[in-house]
């Protein structure tokens, strides 16, 4: 895609936005309904494309890339009027008589750049609040999931005029050409390295950005857990989509008193999920491409207690656990984004909290304990974008919760109303009547009464 093409796309969308069409609530609702109908009509094609791109099991593909999108659309359609209504807020006594409100207004033209690991959900889920808020949007899916990107383009084209919403498919050169344009908001999901490039490009136009990045999400396990339940929930979160999930448990911090039992339960859970040979399981995904296959494979070294097998031809890496990992291990140097779980032992919760707090703030943190005091300590002392207690990843699926990172794991929130607010200007409005005025606010100030002047001298 040439620079002139991206200029034409953005120009057409800016013209459509300035026409005022997207400010109409019913226009937004109809767009969301058309999107829902198009996704429903193509859900089978989406599942097949996700299988083609990265071997996703049908249930995982539907659950994480299709079902979540349909749920978000339904919520936005249901709540659209409530979200767009002015929000009355308190007016302080010194402004009375007056009323104060927050009035959401659309930003303009948004750019949404998605990743390859959930290639439909992570462009459609930001698109939904962008449209609900009254914006136009350009969607850039990942070229590393080409089959899904193609179906995504067809879904969008069937539901929208390109002056309203369009898909720009292609490699990094297309993304670079788009980033040269002036948008009113950029929403990027992906790596921190590319996130810096996006932010630098946005700064040239002072465009606000939302960065949904990743990081090494820790999973802390205390001795008082139900070991089998904890193991199943950890294994599910880690090996869902073959570990290619930004909120997957990245490494395991396990108390020495429960480590032996937990590792045995994790081994049992992997077998229960995927059988004796996970390579033959229809429920286990594959690595997205050979470059990532090689990257993940290099991290498997040391005391491998589960898995470790691989097959380059099918891009298969087994569900793997590495015990007795040190902070210097290769798997601790970067976000793993694959089915490899390093295990680090600790003696006290203080040690675990310190280990997490000394590192970059993660996108998610997982804690397994029955002790409410320990839970409160970890929630208070270990910062993260989101947290699950006694489970993994489920916070992402609750649209009543904001989803996003903190620090190096990103900034800005979305899902439900939080996404609507992200793509809106929350305009502050104060309204006053003419029937009363306060003379003290106006010069000349020397005409104030003696009592008022004495108060001012006392204050200043």
Of residues 219, 246, 335, 388, which has the active-site annotation? 246
CATH topology of domain 3-213+410-427: Aldehyde Dehydrogenase; Chain A, domain 1 (3.40.605)
Let me know: does 234 contact 392? Beta carbons within 8 Å: yes
Alpha-carbon distance of 458 to 441, in angstroms, equals 18
Alpha-carbon distance of 247 to 369, in angstroms, equals 20
The tokens 């097949």 sit on which residue?
A: 48
3-state secondary structure 4-70: HHHHHHHHHHHHHHHCCHHHCHHHHHHHHHHHHHHHHHCHHHHHHHHHHHHCCCHHHHHHHHHHHHH
Let me know: does 369 contact 375? Beta carbons within 8 Å: yes
Alpha-carbon distance of 165 to 111, in angstroms, equals 10
Helix (H, G, I), strand (E, B) or coil at 431: strand
Of residues 60, 72, 136, 212, which has the active-site annotation? 212
Retrieve residue 288's tokens. Answer: 């997205």
Retrieve residue 428's tokens. Answer: 């502050």
Per-residue pLDDT, averaged over 258-269, amounts to 98
pLDDT at 441: 78
pLDDT at 458: 60
Let me know: does 325 contact 301? Beta carbons within 8 Å: no
Dmax over CA atoms of the chain, in Å, equals 90
Q: Quickly state the pLDDT bin for 210 (edges 50, 70, 90).
A: very high
Is 212 known to be catalytic?
A: yes
Question: Which letter does DSSP use for residue 243 in this model?
Answer: G
Let me know: does 341 contact 237? Beta carbons within 8 Å: no
- For residue range 367-426, list pLDDT tens digits in order: 999 999 999 999 999 999 999 999 999 999 999 999 999 999 999 999 999 999 999 999
Per-residue pLDDT, averaged over 191-203, amounts to 96
Which CATH number does 218-404 carry? 3.40.309.10
Q: Full-prediction pTM beyond 0.85? A: yes
Distances (CA, A) of 89 to 79, 99, 106, 132, 429: 20, 8, 20, 22, 10
pLDDT of 451 > 80? The answer is: no
Domain ranges of the chain: 3-213+410-427, 218-404
Is 72 known to be catalytic?
A: no
């Amino acid at each position: 895609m040439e620079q002139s093409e991206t200029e034409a796309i953005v120009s057409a969308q800016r013209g459509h936005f300035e026409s005022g069409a997207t400010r109409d609530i019913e226009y937004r609702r109809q767009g969301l309904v058309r999107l829902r109908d198009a996704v429903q009509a193509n859900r089978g094609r989406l599942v097949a494309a996700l299988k083609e791109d990265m071997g996703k099991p049908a249930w995982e593909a539907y659950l994480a890339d299709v079902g979540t999108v349909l749920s978000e659309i339904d919520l936005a359609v249901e709540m659209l009027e409530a979200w767009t209504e002015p929000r009355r807020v308190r007016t302080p006594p010194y402004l009375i008589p007056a009323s104060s409100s927050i009035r959401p207004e659309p930003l303009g033209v948004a750019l949404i750049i998605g990743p390859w690991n959930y290639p439909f959900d992570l462009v459609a889920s930001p698109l939904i609040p962008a449209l609900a808020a009254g914006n136009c949007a350009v969607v850039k899916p990942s070229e590393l999931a080409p089959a899904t990107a193609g179906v995504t383009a067809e879904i969008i084209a069937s539901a929208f005029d390109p002056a309203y919403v369009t898909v720009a498919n292609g490699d990094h050169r297309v993304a670079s050409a788009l980033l040269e344009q002036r948008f009113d908001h950029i929403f990027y999901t992906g790596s921190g390295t590319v996130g810096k490039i996006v932010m630098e490009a946005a700064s040239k136009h002072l465009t606000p950005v939302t960065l949904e990045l990743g990081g090494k999400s820790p999973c802390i396990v205390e001795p008082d857990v139900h070991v089998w339940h904890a193991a199943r929930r950890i294994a599910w979160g880690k090996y869902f989509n073959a570990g290619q999930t930004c909120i997957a448990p990245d490494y395991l911090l396990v108390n020495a008193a429960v480590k032996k039992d937990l590792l045995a339960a994790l081994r049992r859970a992997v077998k229960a999920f995927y059988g004796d040979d996970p390579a033959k399981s229809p429920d286990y995904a594959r690595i997205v491409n050979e470059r990532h296959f090689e990257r993940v494979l290099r991290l498997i070294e040391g005391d491998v207690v589960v898995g470790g097998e691989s097959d380059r031809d099918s891009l298969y890496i087994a569900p793997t656990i590495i015990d007795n990992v040190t902070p210097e291990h290769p798997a601790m140097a970067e976000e793993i984004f694959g089915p490899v779980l390093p295990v680090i032992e600790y003696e006290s919760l203080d040690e675990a909290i310190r280990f997490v707090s000394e590192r970059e703030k993660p996108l998610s943190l997982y804690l397994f304990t029955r002790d409410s005091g320990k839970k409160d300590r970890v929630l208070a002392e270990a910062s993260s974008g989101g947290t699950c207690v006694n489970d993994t990843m489920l916070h992402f699926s609750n649209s009543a919760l904001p989803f996003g990172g903190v620090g190096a794991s990103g900034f800005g929130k979305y899902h439900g109303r939080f996404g609507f607010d992200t793509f809106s200007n929350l305009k502050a409005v104060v309204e006053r009547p003419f029937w009363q005025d306060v003379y003290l606010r106006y010069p000349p100030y020397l005409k104030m009464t003696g009592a008022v002047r004495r108060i001012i001298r006392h204050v200043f």
